[in-house]
Amino acid sequence: MEQDILEQIAVVTDRIAAACKKCGRNEKEVKLLLATKTVSAEKIKIALEAGYQLIGENKIQEVKEKYEPLRHCSHTGHFIGHLQTNKVKELLKYNIKCLESLDRLELAEKLQHRLEFEDKYLDVLIQVNTSGEQSKFGVSADRAIELVQQIATLKRLRIKGLMTIGLFSAEEQKIRTCFQLLQSLSRQIAALEIEDVQMQELSMGMSNDLEIAIEQGATIVRVGTAVFGKRIFPDSYYWNESSD
Ligand SMILES: *Cc1c(COP(=O)(O)O)cnc(C)c1O
């Protein structure tokens, strides 16, 4: 098992390096985030101990279950799933560094309130629905800039960039269009020079489309299947409104 995971990670890091080379980027600009939903703490540890320490979970329940077993392994935890407003308090218990899936003002306000109470700060990415699919979370592209401006006034939240899930499609151009849209929004927002808003991170690209995302400027690619193998639950279980 250990060998498998490390070998798969090596395959992925080679893909990242090749994609960077192809478009003239420095591979150090692209971070590999391991999407660890459904993966046991034992398996995650193998990656952490080998130095791959950026991980992301989709559900609070899993963050909670793996918190104790992973506590003493150095790592950085991001939350990449849909967060229900009533789970804000829970999220802040587990030392999550960045919420990548902030997609609505109501959630941001709840976070701000709770963070003030706990005297903490949280890094966030704004999740944009770049594919326009109903089933995906994220603010619509035409409302994204406005949402960033609103969230920028909530001083406990530190906006670090944008996140998206590309279209699931066999057509490369359609996937690329999603990532181009995110990159373009990021540039537009950066140009506004909004106080306390940084556009340093573009979290996009997964097992099947990370090369395209890197060509469009991804700084974080989120990879699950290509490292840990297929999951038993369909992604709809994680990505639809009923999921939580
Ligand atoms: C599961 C997941 C990923 C990783 O997807 P793979 O196709 O398994 O690489 C990336 N981002 C999010 C938000 C996810 O839920």
Averaged pLDDT, 51-70: 97
CA–centroid distance for 12 within its chain:
17
**Pocket mutation for ligand 1, best pick of 62, 235, 237 (most atoms within 8 Å of C-beta):** 235
Model confidence at 162, in pLDDT bands (50, 70, 90)? Answer: very high
pLDDT in tens, 131-156: 998 877 999 999 999 999 999 999 99
128: pLDDT strictly greater than 90: yes
Q: Where exactly are the structural domains of the chain?
A: 2-230
Ligand 1 nearest atom to the CA of residue 207, by list position: 9
Q: Is the pLDDT of residue 1 over 90?
A: no
- Portion of the chain with pLDDT greater than 90, in percent: 91
- According to the model, what pLDDT value does residue 204 have? 98
pLDDT higher than 80, residue 87: yes
Structure confidence at residue 151 (pLDDT):
98
Query: Mean pLDDT lowest for which of 47-61, 68-82, 198-212, 220-234?
Result: 220-234
For residue 108, what are the CA distances in angstroms to 32, 122, 174, 215? 26, 11, 30, 31
pLDDT at position 134, please?
81
Pick the CATH number of 2-230 from 1.10.4080.10, 3.30.540.10, 3.30.750.24, 3.20.20.10: 3.20.20.10
CA distance 137 to 155: 24
pLDDT of residue 149: 98
**Residue written as token pair 């109470």:** 117
**What is the average pLDDT value for the chain, to the nearest integer?**
95
- Whether the per-residue pLDDT at 218 is higher than 90: the answer is yes
CA-only gyration radius of the chain, Å: 17
The pLDDT of residue 243: 45
pLDDT at 240 over 70: no
Contact 43, 1 (CB under 8 A): yes
Ligand 1 centroid–CA 198 distance in Å is 24
- Round to whole Å and give the CA distance between 83 and 72: 25
- Tell me, in angstroms, the distance from the centre of ligand 1 to residue 239's CA: 10
Give residue 115's pLDDT.
Answer: 98
More confident of the two residues 193 and 236: 193
Count other Cβ atoms within 10 Å, centred on residue 69. 13
Distance, in Å, from the CA atom of 162 to the CA atom of 185, rounded to the nearest integer, reads: 9
* Per-residue pLDDT, 65: 97
Each residue's pLDDT tens digit, 24-43: 999 999 999 999 999 999 99
CA of 57 to the centre of ligand 1 (A): 9
Q: What is the mean pLDDT of residues 189-207?
A: 98
Q: How far apart are CA 170 and CA 164, in angstroms?
A: 18
Q: Which of 222, 237, 238 to mutate to test the pocket of ligand 1 (most atoms within 8 A of CB)?
A: 222
Q: How far is the CA of 208 from the centre of ligand 1 (A)?
A: 10
The predicted model gives 87-114 an average pLDDT of: 97
